[in-house]
Amino acid sequence: MKAIEWLGNRVRILDQTRLPQEEVYLELSRYQDIASAIAELKIRGAPAIGVAGAYAVALGALEIKATAKTEFLRKLQAIIQTIASTRPTARNLFRALERMGRASESGKNVDQIKTALVNEAIAIHTGEAEATRRLSQLGAELLKDGFTILTHCNTGALATAGYGTAFGVIKKAWERGKKLRVFATETRPLLQGARITAWELNKAGIPFTLITDSMTGYFMSRGEVDCVIVGADRIALNGDTANKIGTYTLAVLAKEHNIPFYVAAPTTTIDPSLASGAEIPIEQRSSDEVTRIQGISIAPEGVDVANPAFDVTPHPYITAIITESGIIRQPFGEGIKEIFRNLSP
Ligand code: MRU
């Protein structure tokens, strides 16, 4: 079950908009098609978006006819800009594009640069997969035998092009033999929880209960949730975390009920250039996603609609941030600075 696979001169992605009814794979060789697939959430989840963006740059580069280096690099910049404009919130996309930009500076001629870009995209993919595997191992220690865990959105293999973030932590603890139970929120408006997390939990054989987003307070108030664990799209230096809309609500509820609230993310999701979550750009998506469910209209035509795709959870609500470089606790700024001192750009 791979979100994205590099096939030498094209990528194969699993169209996540069709899940769980159909497992449809798309083979894409044009960077514009990958950009559309990202914008349309055919491939989604912060690390997976970064990987897809990197491959899109590599494929775009292979298509450039120019043999003069300056002209090639000018065209490459335009491609990078197109991919950067697909989705604004996930830090992983921009970090991957920055790495691709740097890789383009390494070759002496166009052929060398093309090879460097393909290799860099593959390295970004391998790095994200490895990071999610490692953070899942570290995070699994936090989940005790017998825990019931509440998770939001979809954070598994499909969201990460690797092992998973929040879902990876749950899966790793389960594989280690801990008896766990999961509450998976449906995650309105696009139902990543109901469609994809439920599908992945089923495949993993982990016992779970699917609930609507509005049921979370009910189950917390009855003492049925031992911890909440979510992924992230961008984490500011102070630990403020942007994640799927509804995450902030869960964090406030968790604090009210004294339930630990964990964020699991690779360091590629952290943006130490932003002092706080107030600076994180929040994607606003089409009103259709709210007024329709899987194409069926559920609201009167023409009503006013808001559709922010993410919200920001302020750092005081977060118990710990699980990364591949370690579990960071308050004050997050110190821990994040320490990790970034030891990371290559
Ligand atoms: O809009 P999506 O489906 O891309 O949002 C995904 C999430 O919010 C995930 O929780 C996040 O990317 C981190 S998990 C890989």
Q: What is the pLDDT of residues 172-216, one digit of tens each?
A: 999 999 999 999 999 999 999 999 999 999 999 999 999 999 999
| Residue 233 falls in the annotated catalytic set | yes
Atom number, ligand 1, closest to the C-alpha of residue 159 = 15
Domain ranges of the chain: 4-133, 135-341
Write the CATH number of the domain with boundaries 4-133.
1.20.120.420
pLDDT at 3 over 90: yes
CB-ligand 1 contact for 135 (6 Å cutoff): no
Looking at domain 135-341, which of 3.40.50.10470, 1.10.10.10, 3.90.1150.10, 1.20.1260.10 is its CATH number?
Answer: 3.40.50.10470
Contacts of 308 (CB under 8 A, 6+ apart): 245, 282, 283, 284, 285
**pLDDT for 343:** 82
What pTM was estimated for this model as a whole?
0.97
Q: Which of 3, 272, 147 is nearest to 139 (CA)?
A: 147
Mutate-to-test residue for ligand 1 from 13, 38, 44, highest number of ligand atoms within 8 A of CB: 44
Does the CB atom of residue 47 touch ligand 1 within 6 A?
A: yes
Flag whether pLDDT at 334 surpasses 80. Answer: yes
Q: If you average pLDDT over every residue of the chain, what do you get?
A: 97
Q: Which residues, listed in sequence order, are joined to residue 236 by a DSSP beta bridge? A: 271
pLDDT band at 294 (very low <50, low <70, confident <90, very high): confident
92-98 mean pLDDT: 98
Per-residue pLDDT reduced to its tens digit, 234-266? 999 999 999 999 999 999 999 999 999 999 999
Distance separating alpha carbons of residues 295 and 305, to the nearest angstrom: 16
Determine the pLDDT at residue 287: 97
Q: Is 195 in the pocket of ligand 1 (CB under 6 A)?
A: no
Q: pLDDT, tens digit, for every residue of 11-57?
A: 999 999 999 999 999 999 999 999 999 999 999 999 999 999 999 99
